[in-house]
Structure 1
Amino acid sequence: MVQLHENLEVLKDLDVNAYIISGDTPEEQSELYKALKEEYGKSLPFISDPELELIDKFGMKNEDVAYRGYGMLDSDGEVVFTKKNDHWGEQLAETMKEINDEYNKLSNE
């Protein structure tokens, strides 16, 4: 299995801040952060969004929960792209490539 930190290397040369956003409480997120770090040697910081406000901005709100997926904001806080994908973590290499491609599109505009 490819390690999380190896896939996240795709983002290291980009001028981005990467986060995991969820409706979970900070306590629940802390547990998941520790589990990911223990399992993969690295994790991303979490943002708690219990009211789903940021999740809604990304168009990822599904009634009172969030869709699984990923997206990007530009430097002005505007949504650049989003993708709903329940399997983004299992397809992490492809996910990171798509994020990298979207970043490069934004950089070239």
Structure 2
Amino acid sequence: MCQAQLVELQENFHLLEDIDADIYAISVDSASNHLRLKEAGEFTFSFLSDPEFVVIEEADMRNESVSHRGFSIIDGNGEVVYSHINDFFGDQIEETVEIIKEQF
């Protein structure tokens, strides 16, 4: 996970408050690594560990032995409705939020 992008997301989290959705950061990193990062950054959204690439592959976000940076929208039935690869989704938070709202 890119900590800089997650920090940008956290600092601009208010832009997503009007969306009726849960926000998660997902990667193949271990749960203990996620916990350390979450606590160090005081993130308010959840981190999920997917070392077997179950969700990552379903969202078509696998990049060999890691996941692509970006975001996906998964509906209430667990179906992936949209995925977007973008190494700078946090730096481009306004564009990211606009795409999410359009796809949501």
* TM bin (shorter chain): 0.7 to 0.9
Name which one, 1 or 2, has greater alpha-carbon Rg. Answer: 1
TM-score (structure 1 length as normaliser): 0.80
How much has 1:81 moved relative to structure 2?
A: 0.5
Q: Secondary structure at the match of 1:10?
A: helix
Listed one character per residue, the Cα deviations across residues 34-55 of structure 1 (whole Å, up to 9, x for unaligned) are 2222xxxx43210110111100
Which residue is equivalent to 1:27? 32
Alpha-carbon separation, structure 2, partners of 1:87 and 1:96: 13
Unaligned runs of 5+ in 1: 104-109
> RMSD in angstroms over aligned alpha carbons?
1.9
Unaligned runs of 5+ in 2: 1-7
* Total equivalences in the alignment: 98
Listed one character per residue, the Cα deviations across residues 5-61 of structure 1 (whole Å, up to 9, x for unaligned) are 552122212211110001000110011112222xxxx43210110111100000001
How much has 1:74 moved relative to structure 2?
A: 1.2
Which residue is equivalent to 1:87? 88
TM-score (structure 2 length as normaliser): 0.83
* Contact preservation (8 Å) 2:30, 2:49: yes
Alpha-carbon separation, structure 2, partners of 1:16 and 1:5: 15
Q: What percentage of residue pairs aligned between the two structures are identical?
A: 37
Which residue is equivalent to 2:3? none
